[in-house]
């Protein structure tokens, strides 16, 4: 049972002084599935991603990746074990080109630093891999452009491409559709459905209900750092607790 | 002999604390590293040379306080006003370093590179009393009194006054502070004024004790206070005080143990030791501790 | 004498590059004075007391300096950049005090008898280090450095071991500074600990700030200009700190990236390659 879960989170707590960003959260993501995570602002969704990736050190609880306990591992170790993520407020490497942003995330160069000194910048296979990823996200035409020059939608897609460049097993997407218009969101749904084959599992945090419904196999709703509902998108989005949590938000 | 050395150490420590508190105040409330601070400290000694021959030292103290404060305002305007962003922080620190270079050079052009004698009018400062078998000079008492008085006044300012509340609010969060209607520029200027005034007075005290104003103490004494600030915990004023006294006493002990030639290393070795075992300093609180290290 | 000018310019270029290498990983180091001293004294002892020749002595001294850098920098490299700045300042102070008390190398009185470096030696060193930096700028490692510099938390999430990257930068910087130190000593023939003080470190950092922090040429320009100009304009030499300080202030206010602010891309996708690949796709 445990090993079919790409990610398992148990009683996870993250406290900042008096603020309980995560307060005893349990969830799991099975192999091959897309788990959607919804909740009002401040529910702890980004805190969840930050804690799983090691950005925050958990106050208590357990995080396991493919059965292996990663709770207090440093960020780069978790990254190398196969976790990729995007950021809610876009954090691209602005001074590098689109292509370079993807290249830098490739595992070989991150892990074998001194060897990477002696490779010429145009290693064919690596470039090809990177370009394939960029094609997947409709960015191949902009490969040599500076990341800072990208439009909002393109920048969000580059974040995803970069997260995939390390060939992660688990992909954590933090509001990838934020700020996108309808057609961009539709394209994103198609893109993510394609990306599914590249990774073992996806955890998708989103506010856009359309996207969540179409992509998620299962849904978890959070509020105040805890899980308040779990099930199919239909079940969760009509659950009374969830509706109560969202009352007052403008969804 | 030991008591005398310890007293010396405390006196030095009080002066270190005065300068370190200034550094700490700026970094604690504004998250900025002001490298011109140690040069303002140095200038304090030279202003003392200018004034102490013409007025009693307690008036000179006031003048130096004001001059220091004004230099602080100038520093804020020249090196920090334009660089308010996050990336700007390093730029501002470098700009303050450049300003420090200019100040030192101007002092060299005005007085030369050798130390300048400070002749105080009163013999009173040099008279001593015998306490616990050691000789305690009035000078030392004055230094301690001035230093602690200023620190107490700072404490009152921060805890009891309206401006103090605003400063503390700014230290918590610059965004919330401006949302609360606090005039961030006015508070920033006040912080720079106060911290630089303290530094300048520190310079006066050092010059008084040594009998001369010297242009290279900015780089030795002054930078050491930077280390002390980090030892105490960046942004923590208690830490700066405790750190200063601690280092002052440690240095005195070094002399006592015959390790006087290595004394300049004390603060820096202590800094490295603290960074290994307690990275946020002795009183590691404040805004710098809030960023969780993963 | 022009040979002298070239020599000092070369030394300053090497020192500026040593700062640049550390800067590439997002850290600022003021320890050049100390590592230069380590290089100078270690190589000096090897040549004067043990009869080594200049090149092996320099290499050994530089390697030793990198090891010292790795050991001493390790506590601070894990923390925020400000702490590294403080530790590097501290390193320089401690280094000077230790040298002043180290009788074997002359203490305060200094160490002498070194010889063998000429302006040609320095220019060769500059060429070699420059070539290495050029190689670096075209390699994937440069991208890794840039990632760490631009956003170290994101870089870590990509699997990059940020403290190790910083260590590589710091140790390499120490290596280059030590080389400069060794050549300096073997040209001047006699050195004192006070030649390697904190002010030197500050100046070297400011050369890089002036010339440009984003690429190796900026450091080269900054160091060369600030070394050679005062030789030819007396006024600049007399008021060097003020002029320099003003230049830095103006630069930071109007062009904070320095004179040469471009960053070269380490990798460019070639269009014809792509077209060829597209042709293969179904």
B127 or B25: which carries more pLDDT confidence?
A: B25
**A73 interfacial to chain B (CB closer than 8 Å):** no
Residue of C nearest to B33 (CA): C82
Question: What is the model's pLDDT at position C276?
Answer: 54
Whether residue C239 lies within 8 A of chain B, CB to CB, comes out as yes
Measured distance between the N- and C-terminal CA atoms of chain C, rounded to whole angstroms: 69
The token pair that represents B37 in the structure block:
């601070």
Residue B225 maps to a domain: no
With contacts defined as CB-CB under 8 Å, which chain B residues touch C249?
78-79, 95, 98-99, 102
Residues 6+ apart with CB under 8 A from A245: A39, A40, A43, A221, A223, A228
Contacts of B265 in chain C (CB under 8 A): 93-94, 97-98
Look at residue B258 and tell me if it is in a domain: no
Task: Tell me the shortest Cα–Cα distance from C274 to chain B, in angstroms.
Answer: 37
φ/ψ (deg, to 5) at A11: 45, 40
Answer whether residue B35 shows pLDDT above 50: yes
Q: Is residue A251 part of a domain?
A: no
Q: How confident is residue C275, by pLDDT bands cut at 50, 70 and 90?
A: low
CA atoms within 13 A on the CB side of A129: 20
The stretch B125-142 carries a mean pLDDT of 76
For C30-40, how does the pLDDT look when each residue is reduced to its tens digit (9 = 90+)?
998 999 999 99
Most confident of B3-7, B51-55, C90-94: C90-94
Maximum mean pLDDT: which of B28-32, B213-217, C60-64: C60-64
**What is the pLDDT, as a whole number, of residue B81?**
85
For chain A, give the mean pLDDT. Answer: 88
Is C107 part of the contact surface with chain B (CB cutoff 8 Å)?
no
Assigned token pair, B16:
């270190």
Residue B211 in any domain: the answer is yes
Identify which of C86, C91, C248 has the shortest CB distance to residue B98: C248
Q: What is the mean pLDDT of residues B199-226?
A: 87
The pLDDT tens digits for A99-153 are 999 999 988 777 777 766 776 655 778 888 889 999 988 898 888 899 999 998 8
Full-model pTM? 0.87
In a domain, B252, yes or no: no
Q: What is the pLDDT of residue B285?
A: 55
Q: Is A98's pLDDT higher than 80? A: yes
pLDDT in tens, C53-104: 899 999 999 999 999 999 888 877 877 777 888 888 988 988 888 888 888 8
Decide if A148 touches B, using CB distance below 8 A.
no
CA–centroid distance for C111 within its chain: 23
Structural domain total, chain A: 1
* Residue pLDDT, tens place only, C223-239: 998 888 887 787 777 88
Query: What is residue A3's predicted lDDT score, i.e. its pLDDT?
Result: 58
In chain B, how many domains are there? 1
Structure tokens, A162: 């970069």
How sure is the predictor about B29, in pLDDT bands with cuts at 50, 70 and 90?
confident
Distance from CA of A209 to the nearest CA of C (A): 28
Per-residue model confidence (pLDDT) at position B123: 66
Whichever domain contains A102, its CATH number is 3.40.50.300
Interface touch A54/B292, C-beta < 8 Å:
no
Token pair for A221: 């709703």
CATH architecture of C2-280: Orthogonal Bundle (1.10)
Q: pLDDT exceeding 90 applies to what percent of chain B?
A: 29
Asked if residue B104 lies in contact with residue B111, where contact means CB atoms within 8 angstroms, the answer is: no
Q: Please name the chains neighbouring C, where neighbouring means 3+ C-beta pairs under 8 angstroms.
A: A, B
- Which residues of chain B does A22 touch, with a Cβ-Cβ cutoff of 8 Å? none
Domain holding B144, by residue range, is 2-215
Query: Residue B54 has what pLDDT?
Result: 75
Q: Apex CA B73: angle with CA B87 and CA B93, to 5°?
A: 25
The answer to whether C248 contacts B294, with C-beta atoms less than 8 Å apart, is no
**In which band, very low, low, confident or very high, does the pLDDT at B60 lie, cut at 50, 70 and 90?**
confident
Q: Residue B167 — very low, low, confident or very high, per pLDDT cuts 50/70/90?
A: confident
User: Are C79 and B293 a contacting pair at CB < 8 A?
Assistant: yes
Minimal Cα–Cα distance from A51 to chain B, Å?
Answer: 9
Strand partners, B176: none
Residue C155: alpha-carbon gap to chain centroid:
24
In a domain, B74, yes or no: yes
Q: What is the DSSP letter of B219?
A: I
Residue-level pLDDT at A65: 93
Closest residue on chain C to A76 (Cα): C159
As a whole-number percent, the residues of chain A with pLDDT over 90 amount to: 55
Residue pointed to by tokens 């200009």: C225
> What whole-number distance in Å separates Cα of residue A58 and Cα of residue A1?
24
- CA torsion B171-B177-B178-B181 (nearest 10°) is -140
pLDDT-above-70 percentage for chain B: 93
Is B205 a domain residue? yes
For residue A239, tell me if it sits in a domain.
yes
Closest C-alpha among C2, C4, C8 to residue C223: C8
Question: Mind giving me the DSSP string for C68-120?
Answer: HHHHHHHHHHTS-HHHHHHHHHHHHHHHHHHHHT-GGGTGGG-EE------HH
Residue B33 near chain C (CB below 8 Å): yes
The pLDDT of residue C273 is above 80: no
B window 172-211, beta carbon within 8 A of C? none
* Nearest chain A residue to C156, by CA: A76
Mean pLDDT, all residues of chain B:
84
Domain-located, residue B185? yes
- Which whole number is the average pLDDT over B112-129? 74
Whether residue A117 is contained in a domain is answered as yes
> Is residue B171 predicted with pLDDT exceeding 60?
yes
Tens digit of each residue's pLDDT (9 = 90 or more) over C169-183? 999 999 999 999 999
| Stretch C240-262: mean pLDDT | 85
Q: What are the pLDDT digits (tens) for C116-167?
A: 888 889 999 999 999 999 988 888 888 899 999 999 899 999 999 998 999 9
Strand ranges of the sheet holding A19-30, from the earlier edge strand across to the other edge: A19-30, A5-16, A60-65, A68-69
Nearest Cβ partner for B261 among C28, C101, C239: C101
The pLDDT of residue B286 is 46
- What is the rounded radius of gyration, in angstroms, for the C-alpha atoms of chain C? 20
């Amino acid at each position: 049972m445990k090993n079919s879960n790409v990610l398992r989170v148990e009683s996870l707590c993250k406290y900042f002084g008096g603020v309980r960003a995560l307060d005893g959260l349990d969830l799991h993501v099975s192999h091959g599935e897309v788990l959607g995570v919804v909740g009002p602002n401040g529910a702890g969704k980004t805190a969840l991603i930050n804690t799983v990736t090691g950005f925050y050190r958990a106050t208590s609880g357990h995080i396991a990746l493919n059965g292996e306990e990663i709770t207090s591992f440093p960020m780069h170790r978790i990254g190398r074990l196969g976790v990729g993520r995007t950021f809610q407020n876009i954090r691209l490497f602005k001074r590098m080109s689109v292509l370079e942003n993807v290249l830098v995330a490739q595992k070989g160069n991150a892990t074998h630093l001194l060897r990477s000194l002696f490779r010429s910048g145009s290693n064919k296979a690596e470039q090809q891999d990177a370009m394939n990823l960029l094609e997947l996200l409709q960015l191949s035409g902009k490969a040599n452009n500076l990341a800072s020059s990208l439009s909002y939608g393109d920048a969000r897609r580059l974040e995803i491409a970069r997260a995939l460049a390390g060939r992660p097993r688990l992909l954590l997407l933090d509001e990838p559709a934020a700020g996108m218009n309808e057609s961009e969101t539709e394209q994103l749904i198609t893109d993510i459905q394609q990306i599914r084959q590249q990774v073992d599992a996806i955890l998708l945090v989103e506010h856009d209900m359309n996207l969540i419904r179409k992509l998620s196999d299962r849904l978890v709703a959070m509020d105040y750092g805890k899980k308040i509902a779990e099930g199919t998108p239909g079940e969760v989005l009509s659950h009374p607790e969830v509706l109560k949590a969202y009352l007052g938000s403008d969804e | 002999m030991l008591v005398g050395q310890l007293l010396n150490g405390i006196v030095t420590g009080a002066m270190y604390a005065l300068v370190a508190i200034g550094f700490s105040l700026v970094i604690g409330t504004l998250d900025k590293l002001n490298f011109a601070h140690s040069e303002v400290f140095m200038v304090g000694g030279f202003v003392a040379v200018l004034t102490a021959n013409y007025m009693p030292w307690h008036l000179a103290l006031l003048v130096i306080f004001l001059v220091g404060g004004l230099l602080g305002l100038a520093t804020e305007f020249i090196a920090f006003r334009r660089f308010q962003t996050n990336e700007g922080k390093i730029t501002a620190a470098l700009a303050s370093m450049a300003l420090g270079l200019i100040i030192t050079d101007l002092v060299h052009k005005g007085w030369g590179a050798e130390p300048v004698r400070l002749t105080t009018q009163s013999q009173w400062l040099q008279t001593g009393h015998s306490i616990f078998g050691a000789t305690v000079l009035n000078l030392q008492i004055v230094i301690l009194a001035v230093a602690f008085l200023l620190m107490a006044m700072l404490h009152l300012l921060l805890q009891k006054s309206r401006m103090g509340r605003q400063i503390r609010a700014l230290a918590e969060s610059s965004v919330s502070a401006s949302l609360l209607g606090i005039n961030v520029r006015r508070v920033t200027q006040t912080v720079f004024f106060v911290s630089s005034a303290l530094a300048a007075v520190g310079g006066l005290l050092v010059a008084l004790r040594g009998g001369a104003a010297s242009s290279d103490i900015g780089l030795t004494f002054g930078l050491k206070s930077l280390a002390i600030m980090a030892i105490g915990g960046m942004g923590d004023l208690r830490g700066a005080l405790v750190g200063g006294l601690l280092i002052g006493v440690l240095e005195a002990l070094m002399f006592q143990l015959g390790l006087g030639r290595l004394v300049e290393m004390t603060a820096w070795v202590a800094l490295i030791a603290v960074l290994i075992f307690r990275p946020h300093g002795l009183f590691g609180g404040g805004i710098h501790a809030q960023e969780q290290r993963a | 004498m022009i040979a002298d000018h070239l020599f000092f310019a070369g030394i300053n270029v090497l020192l500026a590059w040593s700062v640049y290498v550390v800067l590439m990983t997002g850290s600022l180091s003021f320890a050049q004075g100390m590592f230069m001293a380590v290089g100078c004294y270690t190589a000096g002892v090897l040549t004067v007391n043990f009869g080594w020749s200049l090149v092996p002595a320099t290499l050994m001294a530089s390697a030793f300096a990198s090891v010292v850098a790795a050991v001493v920098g390790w506590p601070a490299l894990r923390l925020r950049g400000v702490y590294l700045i403080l530790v590097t300042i501290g390193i320089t102070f401690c280094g000077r005090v230790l040298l002043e008390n180290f009788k074997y190398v002359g203490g305060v009185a200094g160490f002498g008898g070194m010889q063998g470096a000429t302006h040609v030696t320095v220019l060769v060193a500059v060429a070699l280090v420059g070539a290495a930096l050029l190689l670096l700028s075209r390699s994937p490692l440069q991208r890794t450095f840039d990632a760490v510099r631009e956003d170290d938390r994101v870089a870590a999430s990509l699997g990059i071991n940020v403290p190790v990257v910083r260590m590589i930068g710091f140790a390499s910087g120490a290596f280059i500074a030590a080389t400069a130190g060794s050549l300096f000593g073997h040209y001047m023939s006699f050195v004192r600990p006070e030649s390697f003080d904190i002010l030197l470190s500050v100046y070297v950092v400011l050369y890089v700030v002036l010339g440009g922090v984003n690429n190796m040429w900026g450091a080269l320009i900054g160091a060369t200009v600030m070394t050679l100009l005062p030789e030819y304009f007396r006024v600049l030499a007399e008021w060097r700190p003020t002029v320099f300080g003003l230049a830095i202030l103006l630069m930071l206010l109007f062009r904070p990236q320095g004179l040469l602010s471009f960053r070269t891309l380490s990798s460019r996708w070639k269009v014809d390659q792509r077209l060829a690949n597209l042709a293969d796709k179904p």
